[in-house]
Structure 1
Amino acid sequence: MAKVFYDVIGDRDNVYNAANEWKENCLLQDRSLFNENHTLWTLENLKLLKNRFNDSPMYSGQLTFDKKFEMQLQGAPQVIYQLAMEIMYVYYLFPYSKTVSYRTKLLKLKDIASWGEVPYDNKHPLLKDLELGIGATGTYYNTAKFEEISYIIQFATTIKLMSVEERHNVLDDPWELKKVIADTKNIIGKNVQVQHIISHLIAPDYFECMASATHKSLIVKSFYDSIRNENEPDIDKKLYEIRETLEADGQYNPVNFYHNKMIYDMWKPNPKKNPKIIPQPLPQPVDDNFDLNISTLGNLVFENEGILLNQIQTALKSGKHIILTGPPGTGKSKLATEICNQIGISNKLVTATSNWTTYDTIGGYKPTKNGELYFDSGIFLECFKNKEFINLNEWLIIDEINRADIDKAFGPLFSVLSGDEVTLSYEMKDGTPIILKPESKVNGDIQKNEFVVPNDWRIIGTMNTIDKSSLFEMSYAFMRRFAFIPVGVPKYISPRLVDEYLDAWSIQNYIHTETLTTLWELINQYRKIGPAIVRDIANYTAESEDFTSAIILYVLPQFEGLNDYKIKDFVAQLSVKLGDLIAEDLLKDFIEDFFQIGVVDEV
């Protein structure tokens, strides 16, 4: 049996029960998943949705999937919105919470319901079945939603073209089901993960709980001796035979190709090793046992959080330092701190400055009260040893890292990150030279004069993208040691999204959501800013309607360096969009003084 559980047998049965309801009520019959008394999953409705979605793709790179989906559904009967929401439910049933958070799943369903004014019961028991999920999906599952969801629609349409008897024959026989799965893939024209997911959800006793075709191939290759019929072409039948053999063996309990470490170690994929022209030691990967969970990041909310999570984990586990990039106010610094907290590693947070030298970062001599000189550790060395000479491993978070002249400030640390041992031009009180070395160079005990960079030590930097062109450039030698991970502003700002942020910030009973949404959208037409600044505006206006002061305090200072014309145009557009809520004369006076520009002329 390929049904999966995590802590105790049956702890994911609610997912399988929901999948069975989809099979019995929606595929074999025509009922709604959320209201079995209503007819919904009919061939006619599926064809209408297929015509709007599968057959009418939108390839514009400027719009998010959600915005495109909303436009594709626009003008459709309410019943099609209901069907679209239930298909999205099927799409989200499999991914576990570390791939797609429960919060995201619920919000996406609620969005579709709101587009079509479909009644939405947020206490419906089926929604709770989305919380845990049963398996991991790759990044492609989140970034290629069009292909994945098109597959679900096409699969259901194919089933509906059959008689009821034929449907039973297909859905009750795993190998007949596999034929339809393969035929649907040929119609879609692309390999998608949901073809493996649907197979498992409908026939979990026969198809493995995995979304990766590559993993299936690796398992078959590793356990080839367990296959009775060597000429069998179907990979899922081979996997079924392998499972039967392992279960009969009795030593692997349970037979789970991911959770049973003995089995996993026999087939696990090895990372590709790319040849290097000049081999250089890199930081060692962080312990594979750590997991990040974006859904627990307190009052931080991110778009495409599953992708962000995967990028962070992949970078750290592959041995890279990371730099979080994006507009001001997107939560980069808080995210950096939370990464360390979730891994359970102590950290030091500093803000880079243009005045940084190796004296600040590595250290240098300082005088005592008696006039004697002693070596005082800089920011970097304090991560490896404290004043009592106790060895440390404190990750370093550098806020606004590109404000420093990196090559000048990092100095000898560059060499150590490349695997070299460096003797500094400083001495301890006993006259021994101070040595900075990677952990790989340590033989025996670490001495007082040795500052050792642990193999899994990391730098997490943040960088505001609006400063990128005006501050110090980063050399290639520096950048190749880092993974640059974007933490952006949501592409599509809606009242629903703003409400989500307000809820995360515990700002209750806020009555200006529509105004705040309009303001944020307008600001981003001139300069991208993140939700942290929007939070400041919300807090300021929670007890009043003084948006003018909030804009002066929190928004306009972010426009430093913007073209004079754009600043004046922004003020004019504020008056158009927000009307009497804005004291235009006060804004004009402020920008005339702050930016030293005239604004009395017509914009």
Structure 2
Amino acid sequence: MITLQAVARFIGSGFSRVKTDALIDEWKNACLLESGSLIFPDRSVWTIENLQDFRERLIENPLQGADQSFGQKLALQLETADEEIRWLVVELVAIYLLFVREAIGTPAKRAMLKSIVAPLGEELPPGWQKISEAMSEGIGNPGPGYNLTRDRQIGYLIDFCLRFKAIGEPNEQQQLLTDPWRMRDFADAASAGIAVREMRHILLHLLFPDEFERISSRTHKRVIVDAFANEFLTGDAVSDDVDERLYEIRQRLTATGAQPSGGDSMFDFYRPPLQSIWDPGSTQSEGASDIDLLAYKKQLVVFGAPGTGKTHRTRQLAEQIIRRAALEKWGAARFFTEQAALDGYIAANVHWLQLHPGYGYEEFIRGLRLTPDGSTTYVPGYLPLLVKAINAVPPKDRLPVVLVLDEINRTDLSRMFGEAFSLLENRDSVAILPGVNRDNGDDQVATLALPSNLFVIGTMNLIDQSVEELDFALRRRFFWRPAEFDASAIVAVNANRWRKHSPTKWGWDRAVDDMTLLAERAGLLNQAISASPHLGSQYELGHTYYFDASFFVGNWLRGRKTLSGGGVLWATNGKPRPGLNDLWTYSLEPLLMQYLGGLEADVAASERARLKAVLFSGTLP
């Protein structure tokens, strides 16, 4: 029997999902098993014919381009649709929106649904109310990618429904709706050409909230399993399926009796301290995660263009490697009860070293220094002193120690490491360091060995140096993780900052569409920069340069009574609002001016104008 604590239905204190769960139950019975409707008790809306009609409009007649929002494209696709098709689309989009809590506000959800049937010119029927009320809840935040690919998410949902109805046999359909693991296999068997994206994970949680986590990312699920497997998936045989492994981890976490989510008697992988153990901080969907790379190699370089979040990612990795080790070494009971102590370990065990052209072997490994009497003596550098401090800790108490070498491209790293360079990949070896202080009566030869719990993370800016220019011996001793432009982060961070910077009467729902468009345009701008004969891919603008958009928009909105004729960044006619102009003037253009500083003034000005037009109009030249 699953206890209340062991289920995945939890969504956080102060939030409700009662109306959401009730609507999904009705959807299963009225729309999947039957061909009825959520809104009309006496209509056949969810028919195979209607679903096929909308599939042709959405999937087989896609409208490409970043100059139109999803709503604008959908309006064109539904121009010739009859009434039943429009009501089907309303209910389909409602299912798509149910999961989202903050990324799309309640007013924006309701407005999106109303716009679909607005051309009918009819009053909203009584059945509309329950859908409208369910839009006020929300279960989680699937990430901006869910919002950026609405057509693909809804396309998957259409395909799921058509395949379910094609089963034909009611008993088999009913069995599928009561067996979570059979439903998982069915959800994975999408038709050819249909991308299995976030909607798959969301749909499984909506249908089986006690078995499937409120996690919309396949990568997140896999990394969570990797983080907790050593502690909770040992001994008994466990399925290789990531969802079943997550389910087993939750059961065993619950069995520890700990309450890691703030005393809510619930476990949630998106709340501390659980989140800080696994959160990959990366949009990569397949392959090895960053924490996998660091744990295996012990040396990792995070490299990329300016503004791509290298420092932030490095801090995350350093904390994660320590928290994972603490969970494995301490066990779950101690781990969850000694979080304050663990925070202290993290603060003490992460060391940042800012490199510069004047920093070398003498400062890092060993060098001669003048003594007060005028003689010289060899003194240990930063690394030997750090190793000495690590070795002073009893082995049973040791947790990972992370050395961050910030901006490794600003010094000669091979020379800086010297004899210690080979120790990076040979942790059992001992290097003999030069120089003996015989004048001081010290005839001992200085040696150095790197402890197994020392991890090294470097950061590197591609503007200053490319990876290809680095020494091959250096490159093979590190894994190299590119920090890339992340359009989804632009929407996510501005969503988090919106309440702080904008007047309370302007909700995030008024900004989300324009912020989503800004993220798309930022990607187009980077394409133009990469193709520019004056710049190149190393000069692409990182996503962090767009994080102040909410500040500029909020500053403009203060004192305004109304907002008509468009969104917060673009007017209806496509002209930029003051907030977008400010973002360009104070955040983006100065960086481009620096990059183009070596060109003739008129050539540089022309190139900046060309790039500005890409961001503002969304058209590549």
TM-score higher than 0.5 here? Answer: yes
Aligned pair 1:185/2:163, yes or no?
Answer: no
Question: Equivalent residue for 1:486?
Answer: 482
Question: Equivalent residue for 2:76?
Answer: 75
Q: For 2:381, give the aligned amino acid.
A: G
TM-score normalised by L of structure 2? 0.56
Question: Equivalent residue for 1:436?
Answer: 448
Trace 1:557-568 onto structure 2 (pairs within 5 A): 557-560=594-597, 567-568=604-605
Structure 1 stretch 111-120 or stretch 379-388: which is displaced more?
111-120
- Structure 1: how far apart are the matches of 2:553 and 2:200? 49
Aligned pair 1:357/2:357, yes or no?
Answer: no
Mapped contact 1:32–1:40 kept (Cα < 8 A): yes
1:557: Cα distance to partner? Answer: 2.1
Report the RMSD for the aligned CA atoms in angstroms. Answer: 6.3
Trace 1:220-239 onto structure 2 (pairs within 5 A): none
Aligned pair 1:312/2:290, yes or no?
Answer: yes
Question: Equivalent residue for 1:48?
Answer: 53
Of 460, 463, 466 in structure 1, the residue corresponding to residue 463 of structure 2 is 466
- Structure 1: how far apart are the matches of 2:191 and 2:614? 47
Mapped contact 1:170–1:176 kept (Cα < 8 A): no
Question: Equivalent residue for 1:507?
Answer: 501
Trace 1:159-174 onto structure 2 (pairs within 5 A): 159-160=164-165, 166-167=169-170, 170-172=173-175
1:423: Cα distance to partner? Answer: 1.6
- Structure 2: how far apart are the matches of 1:554 and 1:208? 42
Work out the percentage of aligned pairs sharing the same amino acid. Answer: 21
1:317: Cα distance to partner? Answer: 3.6
Question: In structure 2, the residue corresponding to 1:313 is in which secondary structure?
Answer: helix
- Structure 1: how far apart are the matches of 2:132 and 2:496? 21
Question: In structure 1, the residue corresponding to 2:56 is in which secondary structure?
Answer: helix
TM-score normalised by L of structure 1? 0.57
Trace 1:509-528 onto structure 2 (pairs within 5 A): 509=503, 517=518, 524=526, 525-526=528-529, 527-528=539-540
Question: Equivalent residue for 1:422?
Answer: 431
- Structure 1: how far apart are the matches of 2:522 and 2:115? 25
- Structure 1: how far apart are the matches of 2:188 and 2:555? 56
1:330: Cα distance to partner? Answer: 2.4
Distance 1:569 1:113, change over 3 A: farther
CA deviations over 1:203-239 (Å, ceiling 9, x no partner): 78999999899x9xxxxxx989x9xxxxxxxx99x9x
Distance 1:56 1:364, change over 3 A: farther
Question: In structure 2, the residue corresponding to 1:461 is in which secondary structure?
Answer: strand
Question: Equivalent residue for 1:457?
Answer: 454
Aligned pair 1:378/2:381, yes or no?
Answer: yes
Aligned pair 1:131/2:140, yes or no?
Answer: yes
Distance 1:536 1:107, change over 3 A: closer
Trace 1:299-338 onto structure 2 (pairs within 5 A): 305=283, 307=285, 311-338=289-316
Mapped contact 1:185–1:195 kept (Cα < 8 A): no
Question: Equivalent residue for 1:291?
Answer: 277
Flag structure 2 segments of 5+ consecutive residues without an equivalent: 12-16, 79-85, 118-127, 226-234, 256-273, 324-342, 530-538, 557-577, 617-621
- Structure 2: how far apart are the matches of 1:472 and 1:499? 35
Aligned pair 1:23/2:34, yes or no?
Answer: no
Structure 1 stretch 412-421 or stretch 141-150: which is displaced more?
141-150
1:482: Cα distance to partner? Answer: 3.0
CA deviations over 1:123-142 (Å, ceiling 9, x no partner): 95567552399xxxxxx999
- Structure 1: how far apart are the matches of 2:4 and 2:208? 16
Question: Equivalent residue for 1:136?
Answer: none
- Equivalenced residue count is 478
CA deviations over 1:451-481 (Å, ceiling 9, x no partner): xx3x232222222333334x88223333334
Q: For 2:51, give the aligned amino acid.
A: L
Question: Equivalent residue for 1:444?
Answer: none
Distance 1:148 1:492, change over 3 A: closer
1:29: Cα distance to partner? Answer: 4.7
Distance 1:538 1:18, change over 3 A: closer
Question: Equivalent residue for 2:593?
Answer: 556
Q: For 1:507, give the aligned amino acid.
A: H
Trace 1:552-591 onto structure 2 (pairs within 5 A): 553-560=590-597, 567-573=604-610
Mapped contact 2:156–2:194 kept (Cα < 8 A): no
Of 85, 88, 91 in structure 1, the residue corresponding to residue 93 of structure 2 is 85
Question: In structure 2, the residue corresponding to 1:467 is in which secondary structure?
Answer: coil
Distance 1:173 1:74, change over 3 A: closer
CA deviations over 1:26-73 (Å, ceiling 9, x no partner): 423556779999986444442233224554679x9xx99x99977974
1:156: Cα distance to partner? Answer: 0.6
Aligned pair 1:368/2:371, yes or no?
Answer: yes
- Structure 2: how far apart are the matches of 1:111 and 1:308? 31
Mapped contact 1:489–1:530 kept (Cα < 8 A): yes
Mapped contact 2:58–2:155 kept (Cα < 8 A): yes
CA deviations over 1:282-320 (Å, ceiling 9, x no partner): xxxxxx9972437xxxxxxx8x64749972233234344
Question: Equivalent residue for 1:279?
Answer: none
Q: For 1:185, give the aligned amino acid.
A: A
Structure 1 stretch 147-156 or stretch 106-115: which is displaced more?
106-115
Aligned pair 1:529/2:541, yes or no?
Answer: yes
Mapped contact 1:324–1:460 kept (Cα < 8 A): yes
Distance 1:50 1:292, change over 3 A: same
Mapped contact 1:18–1:126 kept (Cα < 8 A): no
- Structure 1: how far apart are the matches of 2:196 and 2:587? 47
CA deviations over 1:497-548 (Å, ceiling 9, x no partner): 78437528x4335999879959967864334222443456876897687945
- Structure 1: how far apart are the matches of 2:359 and 2:611? 40
Mapped contact 1:361–1:410 kept (Cα < 8 A): yes
Q: For 2:424, give the aligned amino acid.
A: L
Mapped contact 1:56–1:72 kept (Cα < 8 A): no
Mapped contact 1:81–1:116 kept (Cα < 8 A): no
Distance 1:103 1:292, change over 3 A: farther
Flag structure 1 segments of 5+ consecutive residues without an equivalent: 94-101, 134-139, 216-221, 227-234, 244-253, 265-287, 295-301, 439-452, 580-603
Question: Equivalent residue for 1:447?
Answer: none
Mapped contact 2:525–2:614 kept (Cα < 8 A): no
1:328: Cα distance to partner? Answer: 0.9
Question: Equivalent residue for 2:266?
Answer: none
- Structure 2: how far apart are the matches of 1:111 and 1:414? 57
Question: Equivalent residue for 2:162?
Answer: 157
1:422: Cα distance to partner? Answer: 0.8
- Structure 1: how far apart are the matches of 2:391 and 2:236? 54
